Amino acid sequence: MSSRERLLPVLQKYLPEGTEHYATDLLLKYSIHLHIKRPRVTKYGDYRPPAPGENHRISINKDLNRFAFLVTFLHEVAHLLNFEKYKGRVNPHGQEWKGFFQLVSMPVFEQKVLPVDVNNALVTYLKNPKASSCSSPQLVRTLRKYDEDKTWVLVEEIPVNTLFETRDGRQFVKGEKLRTRYRCKEKGSGKAFLVPALMPCKPVLNPY
């Protein structure tokens, strides 16, 4: 069985129908080791340059819906292309990376496989992409419409003083809003943390 034949069934589980062949092309062309990981609170994915004799490494959280998985994958491939050309000599989220993100996304738009709302939100986001796609309210709110597990909501959507749980099992009480984050108190330790308004969480019902 060829590498392509091994990759396609895996990618079909995580990507929107019609994009798995393009993703496979990228993985094979750039010798990428794709690691699908358990949910992480602080990031959806990451890219790591290759050590001598090793492959590029991209990891993506396994709990992302298909469209969020695709956006994260393209985000990290753009980091790879940026590294390939500049070897870390430029800002990792500077204009060069933004250009590669736009470039690597073009074939997806040309395939016309995305829902209209996802397509439009991604087009808007790519005009000036940020370091994290979760910093774009429009894109995050659009992508989460396609989550299968509806028990997860955004921190901004729950009332103040609500006890909630994060993907890694930690629990917090929601406090006051400070720009794009909320000051929250961790249950148990009592320590204060600034939690992103757009971070997924699950309200804890009847905590006592």
Q: Which pLDDT tens digit goes with each residue over 54-109?
A: 999 999 999 999 999 999 999 999 999 999 999 989 999 999 999 999 999 999 99
- Helices marked H in the chain — which ranges? 3-14, 20-29, 66-86, 95-111, 116-126, 137-143
In a domain, 14, yes or no: yes
Q: State both tokens at 44.
A: 């959806």
Cα(199)–Cα(51) distance, integer angstroms: 32
The answer to whether residues 95 and 13 belong to one domain is yes
The answer to whether 143 and 61 have CB atoms below 8 angstroms apart is no
Domain end, chosen from 145, 162, 182, is at 145
The answer to whether 172 and 187 have CB atoms below 8 angstroms apart is yes
The answer to whether 50 and 57 have CB atoms below 8 angstroms apart is yes
The answer to whether residues 86 and 119 belong to one domain is yes
In a domain, 180, yes or no: yes
Residue found by looking up tokens 């989220």 in the block: 93
The answer to whether residues 69 and 165 belong to one domain is no
The answer to whether residues 176 and 73 belong to one domain is no
Domain end, chosen from 97, 124, 145, is at 145
Averaged over 16-23, what is the pLDDT? 96
Domain end, chosen from 125, 145, 165, is at 145
What's the pTM? 0.90
The answer to whether residues 69 and 139 belong to one domain is yes
Cα(77)–Cα(75) distance, integer angstroms: 6
Grade residue 144 by pLDDT with cuts at 50, 70 and 90.
Answer: very high
Per the structure, how many domains does the chain have?
2
Grade residue 49 by pLDDT with cuts at 50, 70 and 90.
Answer: very high
The answer to whether residues 141 and 172 belong to one domain is no
Averaged over 159-176, what is the pLDDT? 95
The answer to whether residues 107 and 140 belong to one domain is yes
The answer to whether residues 135 and 162 belong to one domain is no
Q: What pLDDT, on the 0 to 100 scale, is given for residue 168?
A: 86
The answer to whether residues 37 and 97 belong to one domain is yes
The answer to whether 83 and 61 have CB atoms below 8 angstroms apart is no
The answer to whether residues 17 and 93 belong to one domain is yes
Q: What pLDDT, on the 0 to 100 scale, is given for residue 207?
A: 57
The answer to whether residues 47 and 140 belong to one domain is yes
**What is the phi/psi pair of residue 147, to 5°?**
-70, 135
Cα(87)–Cα(5) distance, integer angstroms: 32
State which residues form the domain around 93: 3-145
